[in-house]
Amino acid sequence: MKIPLNISWQQILLHLFNFSILAGGLYFLLYKPVKNFMDGRAAHYAELDAAAEAKLARAETLEAEHRRLLEGAESEIMHMKAEAALENERAAAAQLETARKQSEKLLLDARTAAQKERQILLAEAQEEISALAIEAAKKVIVSSSDIYDRFLDAAESEGEQQYE
Amino acid sequence: MKNKKTALIIWICVTALLLAGALALGSGGAPHETVREVMRDAVLHEDNKLSLFGLIEVNPAVVSAMTVTLILLIASALIRLLAVPRFRLVPGRLQLLLEQLVGLFDGMAKSNSPHRNGFLGAYIFAAGVYIFTGTAFELFGLQALTTKGHSLALPAPLSDINGAIALGVLSYLVILSGGVAGNGLRGLGSSLKDFSLPISMSFRLFGALLSGLLVTEMVYYYLGLSFVLPVAVGVMFTLLHALIQTYVLIMLTALFYGEVSEKHHAE
C-alpha cells in the first residue's frame, strides 16, 4: 500500500536512527560536559557561599559573645568601682580614725606637756614671786629701816633742836 | 584616495559585467523542470532521489540530516576536546555561548517540568540544536547529484515529511515515556489522550519548513529573482523559521512532558 505524500517508513526510521546518533553524540560530547561543568561551578559557588555564611554566623556569634563579655565587663567594672569606692571609704575612715587618734594623742600629749609646762611655769613663777616677795620684803625692810632710821634721825634731830 | 576610487570603479564594472553575463547566458538552455514540477518535487520528493552509500535511494533530506549530524558531531567533538578542558570559572566568549545554549534548554526543561527534567533537558537540547542547525543548513546550498544526474541543493532535513514525522513522533514518544515514568499507567493514559499530538507536531514542523523551502525554490527558479531578494527570503523563511520552529517544538515537548509526568496525589 502506497502511503500518500511519499511517506516512507524506511526513511522515517533512517531519520530516527540519524537523530538518535546525533542526540547521543550531543549528549555525551556537549550537553553533559558543559552541564557538569556548570553544576560543578554552581556547587563550588554554593560551597563558597555556605562557607561565607558559616563564617558570618561564627562572626555574629563571636560578636554576640564579645558584646555579652563587654556588658559583663562593664558590670564588673561598675562592681569593682563600687568595691573600690567602698574600700576607699573604708581606708579614708580608717585614716581619719588614725588621724583622730593621733590628734587626740597629740592633743593629750600637748595638754600633758602644757600642764607640765604650766606647773613648771607656775613653780618658777611661784619661785620668782617668792623671790620677788622676799626681795620686796627685803626692800621693804630696808626701806622701812631707812625710814625708821630717818625717823629716828629726824626725831633725834628734832629732839636735839628742842633741847637746844 | 585616488586608488580607492579606481578600486571602486573596477569593482562596479566587474559586478555589472557578471550580471550582464548571467542575464545574457540565461540558465544554459530551457529549464527541464517547470516550476510546478519543482514545487511538487520539493513536497513529495518523487523524482529527485539521492543514493545513500550506493545502498538505497533516499529523499535528499535524509542525506541532509546525516550531513547535519556529521557536522554537529565533529563540531561537538572538537569543542569537547579543545574547548571544554579549558573552561574557566569566569567564562570566555565561546564558553559563555555554550553555557547559554545548555543553560537555555536545561532551564526550559526545569521550568516546564520541575519534578522530572534530566532526560527532557538532554532531549530538547538535541532536538533544538538539530532543528535550528538543520533549518539553517539549507542556506549553505550544498550541492548533491541525484540518481538521475541532476544537481540539487540539499534541503533542510525537516522540510521532508518523513523527517518531520520522525521528530514529531519521537517527541510524542518522549512525552509518553515521561508520563509512564512519572505516573505509570495513569501517565500513559493522559499521554494517549493527546493522540493528535504527534500528527500536529509533525505537520507543523513540515508545513513551516516546507513553506520556507517552497518560497526559496520559487525565488531561485527565476533568474531575475535571484539577486538581492534571496537575502531577505533567506532571513525571513529560513532563520526565522529555524528559531520559531525550534522554540515551538521544544516548548510543546517540555510543556506536555511536564504535564503528563507531574505526580498526581490521591485526594
Instruction: Look up residue A91 and give its amino acid.
Output: A
The whole-angstrom separation of Cα B157 and Cα B132 is 10
Residue B234 has pLDDT above 90, yes or no: no
Lookup: cell for A86: 567602698
pLDDT digits (tens, 9 = 90+) for B11-41: 988 888 887 876 676 655 445 667 777 777 7
| Distance of residue B23 Cα from the nearest chain A Cα, in angstroms | 36
Residue B186 has pLDDT above 50, yes or no: yes
B62, B97, B117, B201: which to substitute to probe chain A, counting the most A Cβ within 10 Å?
Answer: B62
- Cell 517544538 belongs to which residue? B249
Is there a contact between A33 and B80 if contact means CB atoms under 8 Å apart? Answer: yes
| Distance of residue A56 Cα from the nearest chain B Cα, in angstroms | 24
Q: What is the mean pLDDT of the segment spanning B139-149?
A: 84
DSSP state of B159: G
What is the ipTM metric for this complex? Answer: 0.82
Is there a contact between B157 and A29 if contact means CB atoms under 8 Å apart? Answer: no
Q: How far apart are the first and last CA of chain A?
A: 223
Other CB atoms within 10 A of residue B225 CB: 13
Lookup: cell for A44: 563550588
Alpha-carbon B214 to chain mean position: 15
Is there a contact between A21 and B123 if contact means CB atoms under 8 Å apart? Answer: no
pLDDT band at A53 (very low <50, low <70, confident <90, very high): very high
- Mean pLDDT of all residues in chain B? 83
Q: Where are the beta strands (DSSP E) in chain B?
A: 50-52, 56-58, 143-145, 151-153
The distance between the two most distant Cα atoms of chain B, rounded to a whole number of Å, is: 85
Alpha-carbon dihedral sign for residues A88, A94, A98, A104: positive
Is there a contact between B98 and A21 if contact means CB atoms under 8 Å apart? Answer: no
Choose among B186, B194, B205, B209: nearest CA to B265.
B186
In B138-196, alpha helices (H): 161-183, 185-193
Torsion of CA B162, B166, B169, B173, to 10 degrees: 160
B90, B165, B177, B210: which to substitute to probe chain A, counting the most A Cβ within 10 Å?
Answer: B165
Alpha-carbon B232 to chain mean position: 18
Contacts A44 to B, Cβ<8 Å = 89
Is there a contact between B89 and A19 if contact means CB atoms under 8 Å apart? Answer: no
Is there a contact between B65 and A18 if contact means CB atoms under 8 Å apart? Answer: yes
Is there a contact between B69 and A34 if contact means CB atoms under 8 Å apart? Answer: no
pLDDT digits (tens, 9 = 90+) for A103-161: 888 888 888 888 888 888 888 878 887 777 787 777 777 766 777 777 777 777 777 77
Lookup: cell for B177: 515515556
| Closest by Cβ to B69, choosing from A8, A18, A44 | A18
Alpha-carbon dihedral sign for residues A99, A102, A106, A111: positive
- Nearest-by-CA chain A residue for B94: A34
